[in-house]
Structure 1
Amino acid sequence: MIYLDYQATTPLAPEAREAMLRWLEGPGGSGFGNPHSAHRMGRSASAAVEAARERVAALLPPGGRVVFTSGATEALNTALRGTRGDVLTFATEHAAVLDCARPVEARGRRFTVLPVKRDGRADIGALEDALGSGCGLVAAMAINNEIGTRHPLGEIAKRARKQGVLVLVDAVQAYGRVPLTELDADMIAISAHKIHGPKGIGALWLRDGVEVEPLMFGGGQEAKLRSGTLSPALCAGFGAAAQIAEERMAADCEHIEALWTRARELFAGWTLNGSATERWHGNLNIRREGLDVARLMSDCRNVMFSAGSACASGSGRPSHVLTAIGLSEREAKASIRLGFGRYTKVDEIERAAEDILDAAGGQWP
């Protein structure tokens, strides 16, 4: 099989797997202790969690703290529902943001979804018009999970700062792939399994001084914000993945540029969705007139690619991201997303393209 769905999840890095094993030991081992226990095994597990926290934090701005969560969805929900004031966000955001509208509004706060431009980038004019008294938070993606477009986060933060409004960045597709240490944000949501770490763990970064109300209640183990027993294994895997991502960031980017260049050559006759310049090159979202994507995916069972977000697969609805940038339902349903990264080989791109083009009735370059 050829895996080209890196936006949905990434292969577990060997280093992350190795880091996790000690903390998965059963009877006879010493790594299964509760990191919140006061005895020696608990203290050892707690030390592993804190070491992982430092590694995760190293890729984020200074002057903040990392709170481990079950994933980016929990992190985003915590930030959106645990702050005050009205919320502004954009039409191409992830469902983990957009679906918070109801619980936010249930507390008497407004939740406004702003338009984006045809390239998928935030409409700054619309943001400026919407910012005002009562607004407490602006939520924006760093890199879109469906089309790879980068929001102008600097411009978004600049406008928000003038009004004293907090900025939440969904950095799930950006963390570990592009530098974020200079990012101007108050809260950042990230996920381990998008950077070759394990599923089931993410984090919410909070700038010093930013206070958020808990989403869940119990022992308050994570800075009194997030209750529940942490998994030392998941934390260790996340930390190892973050460390490798930091060490390999330049090399990974260079490799992805080569994959992008070859993929663009192979699909030269297809139309690119989203910005041609302001985007992450590990995400190729393209369309072809009259393409039957359901049949294409059935005919190309050896190639793992997507027709949109994995979170919305099977819904039968066109991608909300593609319709938000002005595509018709027909155009949206004739689009596919190819995602590649660290472990993708050029020959896999070529073999996948041959299968897809053959099945789509295209011409092999």
Structure 2
Amino acid sequence: MNYPIYLDYNATTPCAPEVIAAMIPWFGEHYGNAASKSHAYGWVAENAVEAAREHVANLIGAQSKEIIFTSGATEAINLAIKGTFDLHKGEKQHYITCQTEHKAVLDTIKAIEENGAEVTYLPVDNKGDIDLNFLKLSILPHTKMICLMWVNNETGIIHPINEISKLAEDSEIIFLTDAVQAVGKIPVSVSGIHLMAISAHKLYGPKGIGALYVRHNHSLPKPMPQIHGGGHEKGFRSGTLNVPAIVGFGKAAELRMSTMDKESNRLEKLRDILENKLLQISNTSLNGSQTRLTHVTNIAFSGVEGVDLLRKICQKIAVNSGSACTSISPKPSHVLQAMGLDSDLGRASIRFSLGRNTTEQDVMDAVEWVEKVVLELRG
């Protein structure tokens, strides 16, 4: 198939060749169940899982025993939020999150809200930033969790996690962060964080595998399991482990440790070329602040219909108007709405996210095509 140029790395990343090579033996030659404790097939699989767990832990500065493998970040988020809610069942509960969170968080929060939890949805300014003073004022005596993402998936904005984690720590409140777009892209540390959701397919690993970091040896309670049956993963998440995917996750984490900084610098140069040239098109503007990931830009193109713009651009450039999880909806991005963009401009905004296979020629071709499409649609 003659694929378009891929500039949608925030939606998913291709498995690195080294990751694929690492996974292949675990589909065939080494097919043991990691929970089989009585023979070599299980021992070999278990050793592979633990090695991968160590690599994932190293990437975020955690201990390997604090990594709980899940089917992805959405499951990790559900385990963290619903597990905390269930832990305090019968109590008065309050949760703090933000209007610009990923739907995996917002929909899970909505589910516990419908079951009796009080929720504060923090607003953002026109750059997408949170007011830390407002966050502090939102804390109540019965606040059980602060849930705020590390990096926004649509704008690439990096939130002040160190300050947020300190506030949560000082208030003795569980802090959950969706770090899906941060891990493997920027240096990440679990210091001061109680729960963290991460995903392999955002950092050149396979789909269908993620993890929840659960802080060890701390007075704050841990979430209750949401999947029962066998007591796998220290009882947090039962089910036969997906050994090939876990091995791939570990390999991807290991690779990001050694390539992240160099790749980030390369992509920043390419992103800046793309962004500066696109902003030279009349009536365009940047959505978000400069405190963001080096490979992401989100640009609004006024004077065009958003559905037509996205459909036409995607003939030659694979991009998105928001989260891949909500791209099937014609509604404007909830993130951009929260930042104050009107519906028409929100729909006419495009997220460009670059990655390890992006070349300067890809960027130049993308600029040429986007400019052509925008001018044609404006008539």
- Specify if TM > 0.5: yes
Separation (CA, whole Å) in 2 of partners of 1:298 and 1:92: 25
Choose from 139, 151, 166 the match for 2:147. 139
What is the CA distance between 1:162 and its match in structure 2?
A: 2.5
| C-alpha contact (below 8 Å) 2:307/2:330 kept by paired residues | no
Q: Does 1:309 align with 2:308?
A: no
Q: Does 1:178 align with 2:192?
A: no
What is the CA distance between 1:20 and its match in structure 2?
A: 0.4
Number of the residue aligned with 1:125 = 133
What is the CA distance between 1:124 and its match in structure 2?
A: 1.4
| C-alpha contact (below 8 Å) 1:255/1:342 kept by paired residues | no
Separation (CA, whole Å) in 2 of partners of 1:316 and 1:295: 11
Q: SS state of the match for residue 259, structure 1? A: helix
Please list the CA deviations of residues 315-344 of structure 1 after superposition, one character each: whole Å capped at 9, or x if unmatched. 111100000011111110110010101221
Number of the residue aligned with 2:54 = 54
Q: SS state of the match for residue 148, structure 2? A: strand
Q: Does 1:330 align with 2:344?
A: yes
Map 1:1-365; keep pairs closer than 5 Å.
1-25=4-28, 29=29, 31-38=30-37, 39-63=39-63, 65-83=66-84, 84=88, 85-181=93-189, 183-209=191-217, 210-269=221-280, 270-275=284-289, 277-300=290-313, 301-361=315-375
Q: Against the structure 1 CA distance between its residues 236 and 121, is the aligned structure 2 distance closer, same or farther, given a 3 Å change threshold?
A: same
What is the CA distance between 1:59 and its match in structure 2?
A: 1.1
Separation (CA, whole Å) in 2 of partners of 1:88 and 1:265: 36
| C-alpha contact (below 8 Å) 1:104/1:111 kept by paired residues | no
What is the CA distance between 1:311 and its match in structure 2?
A: 0.5
Aligned AA (1:71):
G
Separation (CA, whole Å) in 1 of partners of 2:321 and 2:41: 46
Aligned AA (1:96):
A
Separation (CA, whole Å) in 2 of partners of 1:264 and 1:313: 22
| C-alpha contact (below 8 Å) 1:16/1:241 kept by paired residues | yes
Q: SS state of the match for residue 59, structure 1? A: helix
Separation (CA, whole Å) in 2 of partners of 1:102 and 1:233: 34
TM value normalised by structure 1: 0.94
Q: Which has the higher helix share?
A: 2
Separation (CA, whole Å) in 2 of partners of 1:119 and 1:297: 23
| C-alpha contact (below 8 Å) 2:305/2:344 kept by paired residues | no
Percent identity, aligned pairs only, is: 40
What is the CA distance between 1:183 and its match in structure 2?
A: 4.2
Separation (CA, whole Å) in 2 of partners of 1:183 and 1:326: 33
Separation (CA, whole Å) in 2 of partners of 1:224 and 1:107: 25
| C-alpha contact (below 8 Å) 1:214/1:225 kept by paired residues | yes
Separation (CA, whole Å) in 2 of partners of 1:183 and 1:357: 44
The number of residue pairs the alignment matches comes to 357
What is the CA distance between 1:182 and its match in structure 2?
A: 5.7
| C-alpha contact (below 8 Å) 2:156/2:297 kept by paired residues | yes
Q: SS state of the match for residue 285, structure 1? A: strand
Please list the CA deviations of residues 291-325 of structure 1 after superposition, one character each: whole Å capped at 9, or x if unmatched. 22322233231210001111011211110000001
Structure 1 window deviating more from structure 2 (126-135 vs 176-185): it is: 176-185
Separation (CA, whole Å) in 2 of partners of 1:62 and 1:33: 27
Q: SS state of the match for residue 287, structure 1? A: strand
Q: SS state of the match for residue 169, structure 1? A: strand
Please list the CA deviations of residues 86-145 of structure 1 after superposition, one character each: whole Å capped at 9, or x if unmatched. 210001000111111333234432222111122111121221121020001101111100
| C-alpha contact (below 8 Å) 2:310/2:350 kept by paired residues | no
Aligned AA (1:42):
G
What is the CA distance between 1:207 and its match in structure 2?
A: 1.0
Separation (CA, whole Å) in 1 of partners of 2:9 and 2:328: 19
RMSD of equivalent CA atoms: 1.4
Please list the CA deviations of residues 148-177 of structure 1 after superposition, one character each: whole Å capped at 9, or x if unmatched. 111111222222222211111110000011
| C-alpha contact (below 8 Å) 1:131/1:160 kept by paired residues | no
Aligned AA (1:46):
E
| C-alpha contact (below 8 Å) 1:291/1:335 kept by paired residues | no
Please list the CA deviations of residues 183-212 of structure 1 after superposition, one character each: whole Å capped at 9, or x if unmatched. 431111000000000000000001113511
Aligned AA (1:199):
K
Aligned AA (1:273):
N
Separation (CA, whole Å) in 1 of partners of 2:26 and 2:374: 47
Aligned AA (1:354):
E
Q: Against the structure 1 CA distance between its residues 182 and 97, is the aligned structure 2 distance closer, same or farther, given a 3 Å change threshold?
A: closer
TM value normalised by structure 2: 0.91
